[in-house]
Amino acid sequence: MISMIRTTATAAVLAVGFATVSPVGLASAQTTKIVSGNQVTIHFVPEDQLQRDVLTGGLKMFGQANGLGNGAGIVQKGSGNVAGMVQTGRGNHGIIYQQGSGHTGTLRQHGDGNSYGLLQYGHGTTGHVGQAGTGQAGVTVQYGWR
* pTM given for the model: 0.80
Please report whether residue 4 resides in a domain.
Answer: no
Q: How many domains is the chain built from?
A: 1
Please report whether residue 26 resides in a domain.
Answer: no
Domain containing 54 equals: 32-144
Instruction: Judge contact between 52 and 46, C-beta under 8 A.
Output: yes
Instruction: Judge contact between 127 and 142, C-beta under 8 A.
Output: yes
Please report whether residue 20 resides in a domain.
Answer: no
Please report whether residue 6 resides in a domain.
Answer: no
Please report whether residue 102 resides in a domain.
Answer: yes
pLDDT per residue of the chain (146 residues) written in tens, 0 to 9: 455 444 434 544 444 444 333 333 444 567 888 888 899 999 999 999 999 999 999 999 999 998 887 778 999 999 999 999 999 999 999 999 999 999 999 999 999 999 999 999 999 999 999 999 999 999 999 999 98
Please report whether residue 86 resides in a domain.
Answer: yes
Please report whether residue 2 resides in a domain.
Answer: no
Please report whether residue 44 resides in a domain.
Answer: yes
Rounded to whole angstroms, what are the CA distances from 46 to 20, 64, 101, 123? 11, 22, 29, 27
DSSP class of 90: S
